Amino acid sequence: MAMKYFKKINLQNTITDSAGKVITFEPTNDSNGVRALDDTTDSALIADLDKFADARLCGVVRVSREIYEALLKKKASTPSRRQLSQFNQLRLAKQPDPFKQNQKVAAVAVAGVKKPAVDLTPEIPPSFAQFRARTRRLNAEQRQGETQ
């Protein structure tokens, strides 16, 4: 009883055998998959996968038994992306909210100190006479600076 081992890269791209049935692989938590087949019972499927591997199509590759077992061991030791995202959500839920702490400090600070009232009256632009007087004064100061 000889076994053949195959690896499929990118399980999202499904492949079908000669009968039109989808070939399934065991996922390895990194969007790849592996499959072990027996020569006596799965000869038609092995022939189809050999064609894909020989033509280098659909991401099918022949692997050794050691590589197959290593990939399965890696799958058992690494959590899936879904498990990692759930773990990160739990970790984030346990952390204190820094914004609420700052609000408490700000509330205490506001209660102790009164801010001055803001003057919202519009500024009146200078009249022509004020503008001319200011311009003459600035010109005179500039001339005094040049003579010194």
Q: What percent of the chain has pLDDT over 70?
A: 72
State mean pLDDT over 34-42. Answer: 88
Best CA proximity match to 16, nearest among 41, 43, 52: 52
H or E element at residue 135: helix 128-147
Pair 34, 63: CB distance under 8 Å: yes
Residue 136: band (very low, low, confident or very high) from pLDDT cuts 50, 70, 90: very high
Q: How many CB atoms lie within 10 A of CB 35?
A: 20
More confident call, 133 vs 148: 133
Q: Cα 101 to chain center, whole Å?
A: 28
Q: Taking all residues of the chain, what is their mean pLDDT, rounded to a whole number?
A: 79
Phi and psi, residue 27, nearest 5°: -65, 150
State mean pLDDT over 31-36. Answer: 87
The whole-model pTM stands at 0.51
pLDDT at 92 over 60: no
State mean pLDDT over 26-51. Answer: 87
Read off the pLDDT of residues 94-122 as tens digits, 9 standing for 90 and up. Answer: 555 555 655 655 566 556 666 677 878 88
Read off the pLDDT of residues 43-53 as tens digits, 9 standing for 90 and up. Answer: 888 888 989 89
More confident call, 111 vs 144: 144
